[in-house]
Amino acid sequence: MQERDQVRRFITLIDSLYECHTKVVCTAELDPIPLFYVSEEERKTSIADEIFAWDRTVSRLMEMQSTAYLSAASQSLSGEQFLGQYRLKSLTDEDFKEMWRRYDQDDSGHLDMDELRLFLEDLLEKQCGHRNLSDELFEICREAIDANADGEVSFEEFQNYLSDYSTIETVLGSS
């Protein structure tokens, strides 16, 4: 409670980032709950709303770690904004997972054809400046990505396709 001003600023920061669906990366010595320690005596005699606000902040910090929150944050960006944060020629494992979360919108563990189309339109917009994905080009890409031809794209198929960036450039560059 002696650091009330710092706590208020942190609470306000997290509230703002949460409301904007921003992905936050931070470290701390402890989990969020014990970071703001309030003794039982202070809790009984305090009229400050920091205790309630801190509980809300802890809840938000926990939610901001969830797959649902991270997916919603990435889905709120335009395709160009989202893909613009990656170097598609050198994606890391974490990059693949983040991209997967964006495009597996129903969290089913695979991409259906609508989700795949959105992914390809976003790639097309990044590469060529437009989203005009013809049915013919979609079919060519679907056949290349859906290696086992089961009508769904698994994470492994998605990752394999993105790993060979030269294929993406060749196919989408010809559109």
Domain boundaries, given as residue ranges, for the chain: 4-65, 78-173
Cα–Cα distance, 123 to 45 (Å, whole number):
57
Backbone angles phi, psi at 25, to 5 degrees: -120, 120
- pLDDT, average across residues 80-95: 80
pLDDT of residue 123: 87
- pLDDT, average across residues 118-146: 89
Residues 161 and 103 sit within 8 Å (Cβ to Cβ): no
Distances (CA, A) of 98 to 72, 110, 116, 159: 11, 14, 15, 11
Cα–Cα distance, 116 to 142 (Å, whole number):
8
Joined together, the tokens standing for residue 120 give 């390809």
Joined together, the tokens standing for residue 94 give 């974490």
Specify the CATH number of the domain 78-173. 1.10.238.10
Dump pLDDT digits (tens) for 12-71. 999 999 988 888 888 888 787 777 766 777 666 665 577 778 888 889 998 988 878 877
